[in-house]
A = this chain, B = another copy of it.
Amino acid sequence: MTSSPKAAPITMTPPRPTTIVESPRLSRKLGVDIVLASETLQYTGSFKFRAAYNVASNVSQDHIITASSGNFGQAIAYACSLFGKRCTVVMPATAPKVKVDAVREYGAEVDLVDVGKKGRLERLGELAKQYPAAYVASPYDDPFVIDGNAGLATELFDLGLDLDFIIAPIGGGGLTSGLVKAVERSGSKTQVLAAEPLLANDAAESFRAGHIVSKPEEGATIADGARVLRMGDRNWEILSHGLAGVIEVTEEQIKEGVRLLFALANLKAEPTGALALGAVLAEPKRFKGKRVCCVISGGNADPAQYAKLIEGI
């Protein structure tokens, strides 16, 4: 933050309300009444800040440790800085450079792991032993995380949006389980759907199997925020009875989602953030004429990768 001579008079209490974007051109093109709930302008650039702020403001520990492919790392780093807490983030050495840099810039320590040699959770366990007084926060399998994410759906209901579907990306299940909880509390008939990369479809397989399926290795999807081995136990407990389904999205549909958001909604989304729109592309008939909210979960795209995605539009 800068040393401003004046106090900021507008309410800065995090999290930032979601940014609703309605693009008539996008809706017309898809034949779907699309409402975009963009978290790309959220603090630290993704919905993860909702969860991180809820964790940092609720736990008593002065040191928070987590493992994150990036966005939760940035979010918890910034949230900890707001509360003067120490923060350590375990990240895969393959994480986009912009995300690693951002975590450090927000004041956290980054612990890079070669995930080919050692799992991130294994390394997290080592750190937990090294710092027994620290709070170990899962980016998804944590009650504060799930409650923090629930706030997004509550905002949608408070806006009076009368939605047939809310579609959100799924990795560990933190966002979708928060949304499901909020929808259940509201008594609304809106259905929550998860959008998952076909190349990292542990959630879809879990629903087909009726129990949590764990992948042997992370899927090579462009949607790096959805590269997890398995969803969390708390998340499965909520999702297994509350989620309306999982839509598997191809890499090409994810990329087309990024391009459509750029071209028709002026939104800079990262690939994971375009998963929900990719799900509409994957099942166009299901959503024809329906009112569908796509949660654009984050915008922290790698510049070189993003440039390549849009140059051919």
Q: Which residues of A contact B (CB under 8 A)?
A: 1-6, 8-10, 12, 19-22, 24-25, 27-28, 31-33, 40-41, 43, 45, 78, 98, 102, 105, 159-162, 259, 262-263, 265-268, 289-291, 299-300, 303-304, 306-308, 310-313
Contact = CB atoms under 8 A, between A and B. Distances in A.
B1 A27 contact: yes
User: How many copies of this chain?
Assistant: 2
Given A20-B10, A161-B10, A311-B304, A41 B105 contact: no
A27 to B, nearest CB: 5
A3 B266 contact: no
Given A2-B33, A9-B162, 19 more contacts: A1-B27, A2-B27, A2-B31, A3-B289, A4-B291, A5-B290, A6-B162, A8-B22, A10-B20, A10-B160, A21-B41, A24-B78, A25-B102, A268-B268, A303-B310, A303-B311, A303-B312, A303-B313, A307-B311
A266 B47 CA distance: 13
Nearest to A45: B266
21 contacts: A2-B28, A4-B33, A4-B289, A5-B291, A8-B291, A9-B160, A10-B20, A10-B159, A19-B19, A19-B41, A21-B41, A24-B43, A24-B78, A25-B102, A40-B266, A98-B263, A266-B300, A267-B268, A303-B311, A304-B313, A307-B310
A307 B304 CA distance: 8
A303 B262 contact: yes
A5 B268 contact: no
Nearest to A34: B2
A288 to B, nearest CB: 9
Nearest to A12: B22
A262 to B, nearest CB: 6
Contacts of A263: 98, 303
A313 B8 CA distance: 30
Contacts of A266: 40-41, 45, 268, 299-300
A194 to B, nearest CB: 23
Contacts of A1: 24, 27-28
A206 B83 CA distance: 51
Contacts of A28: 1-2
A31 B4 CA distance: 9
A139 to B, nearest CB: 20
A310 to B, nearest CB: 5
A57 B6 CA distance: 39
A163 B111 CA distance: 40
A268 B162 CA distance: 29
